[in-house]
Structure 1
């Protein structure tokens, strides 16, 4: 790889000494950082000089939570993003089938509709999808990923009775909607997840090109480490082919479904020890509730409006006993555990179970456990000290403030909605929180997320919780140094310091000096992984 010296720009180190004049890279690692003259003195005669031309370089962004394979799979699916009516959903499906000459009987998947933004303000049913795809099994997935709709052919192929004579299967922690004892096609949470698993996956060959495209999307946003947020056994042949092929250029950390990834762990167990061909197993993942915009998040106080019965608070996915078993298993195997918790009742369950685990140990939990609370959107301010006491890392979905903030205000009332993703409160408590986009729920755009956390503006232009705004510096830490800590990678990445990986992002402007309302307009010009440029803006 040789040596490269970066200079003549703004270099943000994300260390205590924030600014540097130059950085020397040798064989993919940072060799020196500081004043240009001192760094130059460390450089060899054959060092390549990289002129930043006044642009800003900082450590590459790190993805604290997303679903890499789902992003890749999205490249093979019908895009329903931005649809505004049932008619438009059906038209997108029909157009996809016609343009791609889809053969009869082939499984189809659509992604990205959101009932909150449809004219009908409800989920479609199987009859609409039957008209759109009369000759194909079809499922469409809600933008949250927590619910979706199957057409009749899909339901029949999945073994679901449609004659109205038999009882519809009940799945704890989930829902299969019925009308006159016949499924409507709509499912949510555990039910949707379980039946999704039965859908045939694309062949590994089909997936390879999609994986390449998904990598480029992450890299185009300055990201060099990605999360696979839920690994199931069905992914095993895909990951074996992906890893063996060597096409991974970004680092991927996988978190195993505690209920359905035993074969994966058995076959890929060597990846627990560290990155092998850019893939590592990071720990386990569990779901404790659902989606706030989908009204399945589990709350301590009821939703303020909606079609459900008075007092509806969403619902849990698991009992306390089940979660205790999951946590004890993770601790026994010394595996990090990530828990999806959106509602404050779900957050409370996670905290409660870890407090019991600590009590059983008769002491505080080991410092190297670092349990992660994914989303933590409605984490109560009264719960934040408990999060700190358990050494938990809340990873906030800060982009929700913009994308669904107005919906949350309707569902929860302005007071509760204003405390969604309480980053400032976590900052005051000294908690190392992180940010994520849950891609493919939204684009893995770190600069938009920083903008959201700093300004807390909704799509309708309202400020949602001004007291939870944070500084640009703290927002950048949440997607660099703090995320490195979440992954036990603080010695390897997250800041520009000697010995760390030479993973950088070059930006068109300095986010610390840019007008706060214009931060999301900053462009990623290049992404550098282990000293090599893996993305330039003019290549996509």
Structure 2
């Protein structure tokens, strides 16, 4: 099948070049140039763009694909602004789904910053709505949450339970409140039973369609643990994947996964490959668990989740295996730890550029740290949509002067640093156009211009989710721009994103998403 695209704006993302026509054949781009010189070999389907824009498909630089699928089976709490709304939604979910006593209920997406008093729900609140069901609420950041009494009992957590290093199990007057942070919360969350395989496979299909509806053709499994092996295997055996999925194995283990998917190491098989390892160095700034060099307003600096020795061991593992390492770093102290260990490894002769280390989120990465980021070949993947979704919270937590420097994309661009963008789905929907809008306008929900000098041109924001993201995945020769020989991973937008005012970018819509030359999403279908 040959398709010739013409009569629209074609942004190649190749050195500002525009094209009049693109020919796709057998999943590859065979021609880029003028309409006049385009090959007219039969049989060729001519696609009239009718003034719409054709771009390379968007590439998700960091998210959690399985968690995004699971989220479709959970109680959505993103819009809740009171604890009463939370309990009403949970209660309605239990009733509508006819969940039997004793069955687990999982809810996600609440944000205590939106609730009255800025306080998390507690176990007593959850017990009233789910007295016979173990229930867990996961914070929108994914790093903290609350268990009810039935859940704590099922997990064996008591008033005497000691939290693991880098975590918190909260007590009040010596009694568990149900609230946990970081390693403690994640440790017990892993023990919550997964949905039935058939339900989860259906959710994988729906999650995949959601990414595709936002113009994305490459997605990430941002933290793979051994318990995920059966469902990943079932997904591959079912031939479910149409998007490319890049997985990152927990740097602290993952032997079962590595053995099970050895054929997938750095190579796509059935649209899935293992790209490297992942480690967490801190928490989230909106939860005040990100590890900071300077205290938050009101005190506290957050905390690390790994010692230097642990993080060093994981970095050395990645270097030894020739695998990329993703390090979750929100705070500037966590960034400093990662950069310090990278500098140490480079001083011992390690070739960091060969593994392209990534700093995930990099929200509070300091301007004074950017020189070292560049020198050590570290790729920051900025969660720049925080500017809109939590910018007002960051002003409260850090003060205006520090908050305006979150996701310092303008400074990074000025220093010629390769950076990418992501939404950390399911924390946020995988809406690349909203993220591009955030990077170009930097407006908070309250309308505050947060970091005028950190705004970047729309073209550079587009590069962050196309060419730069392809480079992050070592796929710059296959994806990220419209060039002869590359995969025909494309997206059609209803407007040229470079022609609309930056403040109107959120109104641009994905019309069609094309993977390897085949349409996998169409807005009118």
The TM-score range, normalised by the shorter chain, is over 0.9
Task: State the distance in 2 between where 1:60 and 1:464 align.
Answer: 29
Matched, 1:441 2:438: no
* 1:226 pairs with one of 210, 214, 219: 219
SS of 2:294's partner is: coil
Shift of 1:205: 1.5
Shift of 1:273: 3.8
Task: State the distance in 1 between where 2:295 and 2:452 align.
Answer: 24
Q: Where does the alignment leave 5 or more consecutive residues of structure 1 unmatched?
A: none
Matched, 1:415 2:401: yes
Matched, 1:134 2:131: yes
Task: State the distance in 2 between where 1:496 and 1:429 align.
Answer: 26
Shift of 1:98: 1.0
Contact 2:61 2:420 (C-alpha < 8 Å) held by counterparts: yes
Q: Which residue of 1 aligns with 2:288?
A: 295
SS of 1:339's partner is: strand
Shift of 1:212: 0.6
Q: Which residue of 1 aligns with 2:156?
A: 159
Task: State the distance in 1 between where 2:32 and 2:447 align.
Answer: 41
Matched, 1:76 2:76: no
Contact 1:401 1:457 (C-alpha < 8 Å) held by counterparts: yes
Q: Which residue of 2 aligns with 1:276?
A: 269
Indicate the larger mover: 460-469 or 199-208: 199-208
Matched, 1:473 2:466: no
Residue deviations 1:356-404, cap 9 Å, x none? 111112xx62532100000000001010000001000000001000000
Task: State the distance in 2 between where 1:126 and 1:192 align.
Answer: 14
Q: Which residue of 2 aligns with 1:104?
A: 101
Shift of 1:120: 3.3
Contact 1:24 1:43 (C-alpha < 8 Å) held by counterparts: no
Task: State the distance in 2 between where 1:444 and 1:76 align.
Answer: 17
SS of 1:538's partner is: coil
TM-score by length of 1: 0.96
Indicate the RMSD between aligned Cα atoms, in angstroms. Answer: 0.9
Q: Which residue of 1 aligns with 2:161?
A: 168
Contact 1:10 1:56 (C-alpha < 8 Å) held by counterparts: yes
Matched, 1:463 2:452: no
SS of 2:348's partner is: helix
Task: State the distance in 2 between where 1:273 and 1:408 align.
Answer: 37
Task: State the distance in 1 between where 2:237 and 2:354 align.
Answer: 30
Q: Which residue of 2 aligns with 1:350?
A: 338
Residue deviations 1:20-66, cap 9 Å, x none? 00000110000010111112xx2312111111111001000000000
Q: Which residue of 2 aligns with 1:450?
A: 436
Contact 1:298 1:343 (C-alpha < 8 Å) held by counterparts: yes
* 1:318 pairs with one of 278, 287, 306: 306
* 1:177 pairs with one of 170, 173, 185: 170
Matched, 1:381 2:370: no
Contact 1:224 1:503 (C-alpha < 8 Å) held by counterparts: yes
Shift of 1:259: 2.0
Task: State the distance in 2 between where 1:226 and 1:358 align.
Answer: 30
* 1:334 pairs with one of 313, 317, 322: 322
Contact 1:285 1:339 (C-alpha < 8 Å) held by counterparts: yes
Task: State the distance in 2 between where 1:261 and 1:138 align.
Answer: 28
Task: State the distance in 2 between where 1:155 and 1:337 align.
Answer: 34
Shift of 1:244: 1.1
Residue deviations 1:113-136, cap 9 Å, x none? 000001231001111111111111
Contact 1:158 1:198 (C-alpha < 8 Å) held by counterparts: yes
Q: How many residues align?
A: 525
Contact 1:204 1:237 (C-alpha < 8 Å) held by counterparts: no
Residue deviations 1:390-428, cap 9 Å, x none? 000000001000000010011001111011000111111
TM-score by length of 2: 0.99
Matched, 1:372 2:355: no
Shift of 1:182: 2.2
Contact 2:352 2:376 (C-alpha < 8 Å) held by counterparts: no
SS of 2:92's partner is: helix
Contact 1:3 1:43 (C-alpha < 8 Å) held by counterparts: no
